[in-house]
Structure 1
């Protein structure tokens, strides 16, 4: 996984969760977040409001948390 491969993936998808990007590249979420943060700093990707977590707010005993969603804003999405 390189910054350019993440850029290309995000251009093609338009938006994706941190978990989706990590799964696609078979990489740790912390490593993916570092690359996404690079593109955020360059103004090419922006974080969106986090997706909904479990409605029980942790009282269900699950380890659910809100998804981090990122959107490509650098230029037009690639036609596919």
Structure 2
């Protein structure tokens, strides 16, 4: 699952223009908090809370990711010109 998500995420990043990269950077910063919480629960040897943190992180990711997956028209046009 992680490999599929990483591949999709990489494709999205490649499609972003400069303005959208700021949106993506803010998105990554917000998502890092979820990663940190999952890690804290793993380090605390609390599997239930780690699982809960992972589910919460995935829900947040699912809710927010669509806001950055639509390639901007500028990036799309730049790719067409390059081809």
State the TM bucket, normalised to the shorter chain.
0.3 to 0.5
Q: Which structure's CA Rg is the greater one?
A: 2
TM (normalized to structure 1)?
0.34
- TM-score of the two chains, using structure 2 as the length reference: 0.33
Larger strand percent: 1
Higher share of residues assigned helix: 2
